[in-house]
Amino acid sequence: MIDASTRLIALIGHPVEHSLSPRMHNVIYRHMDINGVYMAFDVLPENVGQAVHGFRALQIRGFNVTVPHKQAVMPYLDATDRTASVIGAVNTVVNDSGVLTGYNTDSSGFMRSLEYRGIDVRGRDVLLLGAGGAARAVATALAMHGAGRVTIANRTPDKAAALADDINNYVGGSVCSGAPLSDIGSISCPYMLVNATSAGMWPHVESCPLPADYDLSGVAVAYDLIYNPERTLLLKKAEEHGCMPVNGLDMLIWQAIEAIGIWFDIEVKYELALKGIKNIEN
């Protein structure tokens, strides 16, 4: 029941109408007796500062930030944790007595999703496709947790090289290098392949970021950050070669679990969050 003590958690992005987060969070809050409500707000880029000032005035407990505001929101916060600073993007903000602190739970959520599935990347080589915001969160997480060599392959090679340099200079832990996406056939078989490009995302479901002749045999884990569709062409190919497939619902779920931990100091079970996303109430 919504009453005078109900805490508001917001999501700001543009657009936000297709976000699965409100459904997932509200199911979790109901099941875990959290007196909170999660609402999505479509905020235009020029209004991000005003939205944050409004949240301060309303003293809401926190908010999530999605595309395209993850960087733009940072100047309006009072503090940023180290991971979010290194990534240069915030997706979760907590309000502690008027002090707004930004976190990046995309990154911590990615690592939690690996732990949950018993995937240990320490000292192991990873091939990361893409060099945008999602790839940056994943590369930072991998380096912070001591993955072996991380090769970042991108359609625009300069962006891959720049991201690899940033990781080597500001994070350390792993040795990162950049490569053109078209050249990955020559990269020796990684333990894990991560797709952080949007190739294969609905409605372009016939698209696959891997070159047609890329040999997946020997790759243990194929993680596609795309969740719509849940089985991309890349994951179908990976399964045919005996790789463990992981789709983007896992990262979506674990970034939410991490955020709820920050706001309410509560640990949510994966299965409950999955039910929330799938709209299964019981």
Q: How far is the CB of 265 from ligand ATR (least distance, A)?
A: 29
CB 206 within 8 A of CB 184: no
Residues 73-92 within binding reach of ligand ATR (CB under 6 A): none
Size of the site for ligand ATR (CB under 6 A): 18
Q: Does 130 bind ligand ATR (CB under 6 A)?
A: yes
Which residues from 167-186 bind ligand ATR, rule CB under 6 A?
Answer: 181
C-alpha 181/C-alpha 184 separation (Å) is 6
Q: Which is nearer to ligand ATR, 43 or 251 (CB)?
A: 251
Nearer to ligand ATR by Cβ, of 207 and 228: the residue is 207
Q: Is 190 annotated as a binding residue?
A: no
Question: Is 242 annotated to bind ligand?
Answer: no
Interface segment toward ligand ATR; rule CB under 6 A; list 13-21, 22-30, 91-99, 124-132: 124-132
Q: Which residues are paired to 10 by β-bridges?
A: 39, 63
Smallest distance from ligand ATR to CB 89, Å:
9
Give residue 148's identity as a one-letter amino acid code: G
- The residue number whose beta carbon is nearest to ligand ATR equals 132
Among 141, 113, 69, residue whose Cα is nearest residue 249:
113
**Quick one: 111 or 129, whose CB is closer to ligand ATR?**
129
Positions in 142-161 near ligand ATR (CB under 6 A): 154-156, 159
134 binds ligand ATR (CB under 6 A): yes
To ligand ATR, the closest distance from the beta carbon of 157 in angstroms equals: 8
Which is closer to ligand ATR, CB of 177 or CB of 207? Answer: 207
Please list every residue from 192 through 251 that binds ligand ATR, using CB under 6 A: 196-199, 207, 209
Residue with tokens 């380096």: 143
**Cα 9 to Cα 85: distance, rounded to the nearest angstrom:** 22
Between β-strands 79-80 and 221-224, what pairing exists: parallel, antiparallel or unpaired? unpaired
- Examine the residue annotation and report whether 236 is marked as an active-site residue of this protein: no
Q: Which of 278, 246, 273 is nearest to 261 (CA)?
A: 273
Pairing of strands 126-129, 99-103: unpaired
Q: Which of 54, 88, 132, 180 binds ligand ATR (CB under 6 A)?
A: 132
DSSP notation for 69-84 = -TTTTGGGSSEE-HHH
* Residue 129, H or E segment: strand 126-129
Q: What is the DSSP letter of 18?
A: T
Amino acid of residue 48: V
Question: In sequence order, what are the residues at sequence separation of 6 or more whose Cβ sits closer than 8 angstroms to the Cβ of residue 200?
Answer: 207, 208, 209, 224, 226, 229, 232, 233, 234
Per-position x/- string for 183-202, each x denoting binding to ligand ATR as judged by CB under 6 A, each - no binding: -------------xxxx---
Instruction: Say if residues 140 and 81 touch (Cβ distance below 8 Å).
Output: no
C-beta separation of 266 from 243 below 8 A: no
- Interface contacts to ligand ATR, rule CB under 6 A: 67, 130-135, 154-156, 159, 181, 196-199, 207, 209
Annotated binding site for NADP(+): 130-134, 154-159, 225, 248
- Residues assigned a catalytic role: 70
User: Residues comprising the binding site?
Assistant: 19-21, 66, 91, 106, 130-134, 154-159, 225, 227, 248, 255
